[in-house]
Amino acid sequence: MTSTPRETWIGIDDRLDTEAPIQHSEVNRLAVTGLILEMIRKLFSKEGHNIINPALEDYYWVNEPQGDLSEAKNQILIEEVFSWTPEKAGARPAVLARGNKWQDRRLTLGDKVQHEPKASGEEEYYRHIQGSHTIFAIGRTSAQTELLAREVYLYLNSFSPIILKETCFDRWTVPVLEGVQELEEYEEHFVIPLNLVYELSYSWKLFPVTRLLQGVLTNFDIK
Amino acid at site 1: M
pLDDT in tens, 147-186: 999 999 999 999 899 989 888 898 999 999 999 999 877 7
Residue 18 to residue 133: CA distance in whole angstroms:
21
Residue 148 to residue 150: CA distance in whole angstroms:
6
How much of the chain, in percent, has pLDDT values that exceed 70? 71
Highest mean pLDDT among 56-60, 102-106, 179-183, 190-194: 190-194
Angle between helices 29-43 and 16-23 (to 10 degrees): 140
Domains and CATH numbers, the chain: 16-102+131-198 (3.30.2000)
Mean pLDDT of the chain: 77
- Specify the higher pLDDT residue, 105 or 8: 105
pLDDT of residue 191 exceeding 70, the answer is yes
pLDDT of residue 106 exceeding 90, the answer is no
- Specify the higher pLDDT residue, 15 or 203: 203
**C-beta separation of 69 from 90 below 8 A:** yes
Q: What pLDDT score was predicted for residue 70?
A: 61
pLDDT of residue 1 exceeding 60, the answer is no
Q: Determine the number of helices (DSSP H) and then strands (DSSP E) in the chain.
A: 6, 8
Q: What pLDDT score was predicted for residue 100?
A: 95
